């Protein structure tokens, strides 16, 4: 199964809708999961989308007095480090941030050969220089959940997040714990102010460097306003 996951706290629920709509339109993803803080998501969902109230389960893995629980990010930011636990029956999943828009077909992402890698993503030049090695942006990442579990890296990431204060929380942790087994993919899959620059942009990531309100951009509104019943009509 081709699966993807978005996660976010209440104040960005509306962003999740436009983001996941864009992925449905521009990929052959089978199932999209939204990891949220409520049982009742306040927006209508597409039939291929499922919500999971992660607030009821997060303390299974993360300690409320842990190093990153009260960081500048909401505790929801921790959950990327536990994806292998949240989805024990999946071998692979695309993790994607809510401040993104998929604007071209990205179905090929699920075909990335990850046999020898824990995760694949787009390089951040500045942090790669600082860390003296490949450092990827976590905004769009393909995870080899099976290998993470097999090699115990699922537990290692959770332990790191509980014990070590991280500036970028799970992004720093994945780059630390998975170092040496991270696959760099083309920048077109995560075009942002932080990642390597590229003329071709399949996934737009509005993290940093966007003047004004990115939510009002035409490309965002195009997907926000598309009716759910108009998405994937042929599969009804």
CATH number for position 110: 3.90.550.10
- Give the per-residue pLDDT at 211: 62
Q: Which long-range contacts (CB under 8 A, 24 or more apart) does 208-217 make?
A: 214/99, 215/15, 215/18
Contact 50, 31 (CB under 8 A): yes
Angle at 204 (CA atoms; ends 199, 206), nearest 5 degrees: 120
Phi and psi torsions of 53, nearest 5°: -75, 95
In a structure prediction context, what are the per-residue pLDDT tens digits for the chain, which is 236 residues long?
999 999 998 989 999 999 999 999 999 999 999 999 999 999 999 999 999 999 989 999 999 999 999 876 678 889 999 999 999 999 999 999 999 999 999 999 999 999 999 999 999 999 898 888 999 999 999 999 999 999 999 999 999 999 999 999 999 999 999 999 999 999 999 999 999 999 999 999 998 766 678 999 999 999 999 999 999 875 43
What domain count does the chain have? 1
Q: Where are the alpha helices (DSSP H) in the chain?
A: 13-25, 83-86, 125-131, 145-150, 153-163, 170-177, 218-224
- Give the per-residue pLDDT at 25: 97
Q: What pTM was estimated for this model as a whole?
A: 0.95
- Give the per-residue pLDDT at 233: 72
Measured CA to CA in angstroms, residue 135 lies from 180, 194, 213 at distances of 10, 11, 28
Q: Which domain holds residue 28?
A: 3-235
Measured CA to CA in angstroms, residue 89 lies from 1, 52, 61, 69, 84 at distances of 10, 15, 17, 27, 9
Q: What is the spatial distance between Cα 214 and Cα 222, in angstroms, rounded to a whole number?
A: 13
Q: Inter-axis angle of helices 153-163 and 170-177, to 10 degrees?
A: 130
- Give the per-residue pLDDT at 78: 93
Contact 131, 149 (CB under 8 A): no
Looking at the chain, how many residues does it have? 236
């Amino acid at each position: 199964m081709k699966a993807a996951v978005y996660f976010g706290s209440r104040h960005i629920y509306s962003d999740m809708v436009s983001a996941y709509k864009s992925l449905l339109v521009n990929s052959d993803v089978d199932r999209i999961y939204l990891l949220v803080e409520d049982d009742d998501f306040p927006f209508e969902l597409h039939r291929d989308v499922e919500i999971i109230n992660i607030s009821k389960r997060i303390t299974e893995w993360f300690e409320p007095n842990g190093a990153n629980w009260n960081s500048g990010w909401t505790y929801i930011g921790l959950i990327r480090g536990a994806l292998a636990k949240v989805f024990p029956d999946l071998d692979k999943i695309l993790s994607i941030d809510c401040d993104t828009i998929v604007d071209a077909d990205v179905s090929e992402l699920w075909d990335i050969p990850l046999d020898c890698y824990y995760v694949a993503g787009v390089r951040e030049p500045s942090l790669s220089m600082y860390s003296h090695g490949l450092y990827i942006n976590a905004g769009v990442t393909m995870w080899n959940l099976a290998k993470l579990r097999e090699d115990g890296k699922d537990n290692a990431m959770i332990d790191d997040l509980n014990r070590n204060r991280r500036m970028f929380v799970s992004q720093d942790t994945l780059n630390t714990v998975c170092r040496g087994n991270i696959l760099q993919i083309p920048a077109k899959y995560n075009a942002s102010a932080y990642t390597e620059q590229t003329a071709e942009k399949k996934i737009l990531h509005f993290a940093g460097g966007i003047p004004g309100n990115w939510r009002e951009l035409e490309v965002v509104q195009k997907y926000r306003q598309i009716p759910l019943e108009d998405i994937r009509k042929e599969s009804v």
